[in-house]
């Protein structure tokens, strides 16, 4: 990743009640789908889990690169997708960039899929 | 959708602890990413919310088609992607197919993104 100014993370939509409570509007679905699309890749999901599970809350990009057999530019691309979807943020300190998750955005996606109050269709099981 | 036998929903992975608890393995990430990828489209997310929010737990495909300006085959395609990702299931009764969510699969994805125990990076806020 270059030393140039990093792009600003888009505002996460102020969203939403669980899917089981009410249907989404077009606008809500568009913002939320962007987050899920970013999560829809195994490498990005592993990167996010490596960042999210780190004690202390942040990870140097140098450690993330070491965890994969992929090239640095490929890792940087996937980190950029996660960042542009508002799931992570980062800060450069000296040589390295440090990443952390944005809990509010992940919580919004988690709450949307919360089915604890779901009605179960007749003849099916949870 | 034709009257032929519908494909079997793949087994949802028996997964996972929240991302903030431990990093995902390759195999876990692949199965989970498939679910998120299916959610990464506004039309599919709206379809899922229409099914999930229905009192009684299931929806006739005829009502789903009426809620969009898209063609029937396009709606059927998106429903098939959701079904192949293990997020919904369906049953034909007479002329129509009825859809319902698979709560266990949605709960697994929701739990993965649960950040209620996350460590917050220094200098950031939730």
| pLDDT tens readout for residues A70-126 | 999 999 999 999 999 999 999 999 999 999 999 999 999 999 999 887 666 665 554
**For residues B24-37, average pLDDT:** 93
Alpha-carbon span A109 to A16, nearest angstrom? 8
> Does the beta-carbon distance from B124 to A89 stay under 8 Å?
yes
Listing DSSP states for B41-83 in one string gives SHHHHHHHHHHHT-TTS-EEHHHHHHTSSS-HHHHHHHHHHHH
In the numeric block, the tokens 């709960």 are attached to B107
Mean pLDDT of A27-50: 96
pLDDT band at residue B16 under the 50/70/90 scheme: confident
Q: Is residue B101's pLDDT more than 70? A: yes
B53 in contact with A, Cβ within 8 Å: yes
Question: Which two three-digit tokens encode residue A44?
Answer: 């990005």
Instruction: Name every chain A residue with its beta carbon within 8 A of the beta carbon of B19.
Output: 48-49, 52-53, 101, 106
- What is the model's pLDDT at position A104? 94
What is the rounded distance in angstroms from the CA atom of residue B46 to the CA atom of residue A25?
A: 7
Q: How far apart are CA B126 and CA B124, in angstroms?
A: 7
DSSP, collapsed to helix, strand or coil, labels residue A100 as strand
In this predicted structure, the answer to whether residue B10 has a pLDDT above a threshold of 60 is no
Token pair listed for B86: 């293990």
Most confident segment among A22-26, A47-51, B11-15, B65-69 = A47-51
Res A76: pLDDT: 95
Residue A84 contacts B where some CB pair is shorter than 8 Å: no
Q: Look at residue A2 in the predicted model and tell me its pLDDT.
A: 41
- Residue A120: what pLDDT? 62
pTM: 0.84
Q: Do B40 and A36 touch (CB under 8 A)?
A: yes
Q: What is the 3-state secondary structure (H, E, C) of B82-110?
A: HHHCCCEEEEEECCEEEEEECHHHHHHHH
Mutation choice for A interface testing from B104, B121, B122, B126 by most A CBs within 10 A:
B121
* A118 and B CB contact within 8 Å: yes
> Mean pLDDT, chain B, as a whole number?
85
Instruction: Check CB contact under 8 Å for A52 and B115.
Output: yes
Contact (CB<8Å) B101/A111: no
Take residue B51 and report the two structure tokens written for it: 């099914």
**pLDDT at residue A124, as a whole number:** 57
The beta-strand segments (E) located in chain A are: 59-60, 88-93, 96-101
């Amino acid at each position: 990743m270059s030393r140039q100014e990093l792009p600003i993370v888009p505002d996460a939509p102020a969203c939403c009640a669980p899917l089981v409570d009410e249907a989404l509007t077009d606008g809500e679905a568009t913002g939320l789908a962007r987050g899920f699309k970013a999560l829809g890749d195994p490498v990005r999901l592993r990167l996010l889990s490596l960042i999210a599970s780190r004690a202390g809350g942040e990870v140097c990009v140098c450690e993330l690169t070491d965890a994969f057999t992929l090239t640095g530019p490929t890792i940087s691309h996937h980190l950029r997708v996660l960042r542009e979807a508002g799931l992570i943020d980062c800060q450069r300190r000296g040589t390295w960039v440090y990443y952390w998750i944005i809990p509010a955005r992940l919580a919004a996606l988690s709450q949307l899929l919360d089915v604890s109050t779901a009605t179960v269709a007749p003849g099916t099981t949870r």
